[in-house]
Homo-oligomer: A and B are copies of this chain.
Amino acid sequence: MGKPNAETEFALNKFGLKAPRVIETAANEVDKVMLVDHNEPQQSVSDIDQVTVTHLVDHHRIANFNTAQPLWATVRPYGCVSTILTEMFQEKHIDIPANLAGMMLSAIISETLLLNSPTTTDHDREAVEYFTKVAGIADYHKYGVEMLKAGANVNAKSDAEIVDGDAKTFELGGSKLRIGQVNTVELEDVFKRQADLENQMKALMDQNGYETFILIATNILNSDSELLVVGANTDKVEKAFNYQLADNHRMNLPWVVSRKKQVVPPLTDAFEC
C-alpha cells in the first residue's frame, strides 16, 4: 500500500509531516525488528521469518506469532495502538512532540470512528484528551469529522482502493480470507459500483489465493455497515452473523464498525468449528 490514503493525507497535511517510507522486506536492511499494530506473520513484511522480533506493541489477538527468544511485548485490548504507545511514553516521562501527537490523535479517531467503535476504551478517551491538548487542536470532534470525511470520499477511489485499501488477510480454520473495510458517508456510493468491486475482489482472490473475500462498507455518520462477500464458504459467513445473504451477496450489519471486534471473532468461530 505504498501511497497513504486520503484520510492519512489529510492528517499528514494538517500536522505538516511526510509519509514514512514503506518497506516490503526487512532482512535486506536489518536483522532485528520491532512490530507495531500487528503480530500475525502474514500481515507483516514478507521475510519476517528471516529477522528477530525483539519488541511488539499491539492491540490485536495473538495468532501464529512465535519467537525463539523472550521479547518485549506490550499488548493491550485498547481501541488503538497509539493509546498503548502514549501510556508507554508517559510511564517513562517522555513528552510527545505536537505534530506526532496530532498524528496519534488522528490514528485513534480513525480506528475508533471518533470513539464510537465498541473497541473504544477509557484509555483511548484519555489519550484523545491528552493528544488534543498537546497537538493544540481546538475541537477534536470537529477535526475528526473533517478527517473521516476526507477519507470517506469513495467516489475518488479506485475499485482496488475500495476493496483492498485497508484489507487484511486471515487464516481461519485452514482457510485464507481477505477482509477489506471502507468508510463512506453514503453506502450507495459504494454499492452502485458493486459489479466492478466484485470483479476486483475476484481478481485479487485469483492472484493471492484467497478463498473468500469480504468487504465491509461502513457509513461513518451513523455506524451502519453492509457486508459483501465473494468466493467460497458463504455459508460460514452466514453462520457467523446468523443472517442470510441476499441474492446480491450482501447482508446489512447495523452498528458493526469494528472488523477486529465484531467481524473477525464470529468468523473465527464459524470457520474453526
Instruction: Give the interface of A toward B (CB within 8 A).
Output: 56, 58-77, 91, 260-261, 265, 268-269
Interchain CB contact under 8 A, B77 and A75: no
* Known contacts A77-B70, A77-B71, A77-B72; is-contact A62 B61 (Cβ 8 Å): no
Q: Dominant SS at the A interface?
A: loop
- When the two chains form their complex, are residues B62 and A66 in contact, meaning their CB atoms are under 8 A apart? yes
State the CA gap A61–B69 with chains docked (Å). Answer: 5
Cα distance A265–B268 in the bound complex, in angstroms = 32
Q: Is the CB of B61 within 8 A of A265?
A: no
Q: List 20 A-B contacts (CB under 8 A).
A: A59-B70, A60-B70, A61-B66, A61-B67, A62-B66, A62-B73, A63-B67, A64-B66, A65-B65, A68-B265, A69-B261, A70-B75, A70-B77, A71-B77, A72-B75, A72-B77, A73-B74, A73-B75, A74-B74, A74-B75
List B contacts of A72 (CB < 8 A).
75-77
Chain B residue at smallest Cβ distance from A40? B66
Contact residues in B for A58 (Cβ distance below 8 Å): 70
**Cβ contact of A61, chosen from B70, B74, B261, cutoff 8 A:** B70
**What 8 A-B pairs come out closest when comparing CB atoms?**
A73-B75, A70-B77, A61-B67, A62-B67, A63-B66, A59-B70, A61-B69, A68-B268
